[in-house]
Amino acid sequence: MVGAVQEGIVREMNGFDTNGYDKAAAAKQQQKGDHEEINKWFEEEINDDLKFCFALNSILHQGTSKFQEIALVDTKHFGKALIIDGKMQSSEVDEFIYHESLIHPPLLFHHNPKTVFIMGGGEGSAAREALRHRTVESVVMCDIDEEVVGFCRAYLSVNRDAFASDKLCLVINDARAELEKSREKFDVIVGDLADPVEGGPCYQLYTKSFYELVVKPKLHDRGIFVTQAGPAGVLTHKEVFSSIYNTLRCQSLHCSCAIVC
C-alpha cells in the first residue's frame, strides 16, 4: 500500500506539488482570493484502482522522525487522525472501535489481569483502554518513536488522563530490546504496532523467533498475547493479515482472530 505521506500527504483538487502539498492553479487562486483557505485532502492508495480520500481542515504536524514518516491531520469528518508512513492509523471519531476491540477481549478473558505490556501504542489510546480495568495495576507502554509519542501527548486531549496516570510506565525504546532485558513477566502483552513493512521499525516484531523466544517467555502462566494484524478485507488480507495469522499458528499457541468492521 502506497500512502499519501510518501507521495504527498495533502492533495489539491487540481494537482500536486513536488513535496506533496498541493497548490491551487493560478486561475483558481485568483478566483478564490488570497484570504480563503485552500481545500486539502489526504489520500491513501489501497491499490491501483482504489483510494480513500479525506477532506482536511488543517495539518497539525508532519515530518520524518528517525524511524518513519509521520503526520497528524485534522479531518473534516473524523477529527484528528494519525498517519504513519502514508497509512492512517486512527482518527478521533472512530479509533475507539479498534482500541476497544484490541484491548478489552484479552483483558476480560484473562482471569485476573494485573500487568500489561503494550508494544507501540504511541498515541496512548491502547493504554487508556487498559487502564479502565480495575484489576490492572501496571501498564508499560513501549514505543520506539519519541516524536510520535510527543505530539500525540500534545494534541490528543482524549488520552491526557492516561498519560498522566501513576499506573502508566512510558518507555521510549525498541519493544523487543525492552522485553528481552525485562525481568518482569506480564499477564497480557499487546502488539499495537504499525504493519510489518520490510525495513520498517516494526518488522522484527512479527517474526516466529520474536514470538517464540521473546514474547512467550515474558508471559505469566495463562498469559495472553494479542496483536493487530493489518486490514483483513477481500482486497487487503494478503498484505499482512494472512502471514501474521499463519506465523502465530506455528508457535504452538492457541490462535484465534477477530475482524473489526
pTM of the model: 0.75
pLDDT of residue 199: 62
Which CATH number is 95-249 given? 3.40.50.150
Bridge partner list, 27: none
161 catalytic per annotation: no
Domain residue limits, the chain: 4-91, 95-249
pLDDT of residue 19: 37
Ranked by mean pLDDT, which of 3-17, 141-155, 219-233 comes out on top?
A: 141-155
pLDDT of residue 67: 86
Ranked by mean pLDDT, which of 69-78, 108-117, 199-208 comes out on top?
A: 108-117
The CATH superfamily label for domain 4-91 reads Spermidine synthase, tetramerisation domain (2.30.140.10)
The single residue of 143, 187, 192, 195 carrying the catalytic annotation is 192
Ranked by mean pLDDT, which of 21-35, 42-56, 127-141, 205-219 comes out on top?
A: 127-141
pLDDT of residue 251: 54
Strands 50-64, 69-75: pairing is: antiparallel
Q: Long-range contacts made by residues 231-239, C-beta under 8 angstroms, separation at least 24?
A: 232/257, 232/259, 235/46, 235/47, 235/50, 236/1, 236/46, 239/1, 239/195
Mean pLDDT in residue range 45-67: 87
Mean pLDDT in residue range 6-24: 38
Q: Three cell numbers at 55? A: 477532506
State pLDDT tens for residues 141-186: 999 999 889 988 988 889 999 999 999 999 999 999 999 999 999 9
pLDDT of residue 24: 36
- As a three-state string, the secondary structure of 136-159 is CCEEEEEECCHHHHHHHHHHCHHH
Mean pLDDT in residue range 212-216: 86
Question: What are the Cα distances from residue 114, in Å, to 26, 154, 256?
Answer: 60, 28, 23
Band (259; pLDDT cuts 50, 70, 90): very low
Which of helix, strand or coil describes residue 70? strand
**Which of residues 240 and 152 earns the better pLDDT score?**
152
Q: How far apart are CA 127 and CA 208, in angstroms?
A: 26
Same topology between domain 4-91 and domain 95-249: no
Length of the chain measured in residues: 261
Q: How far apart are CA 8 and CA 20, in angstroms?
A: 3
State pLDDT tens for residues 100-130: 999 999 999 999 999 999 999 999 999 999 9
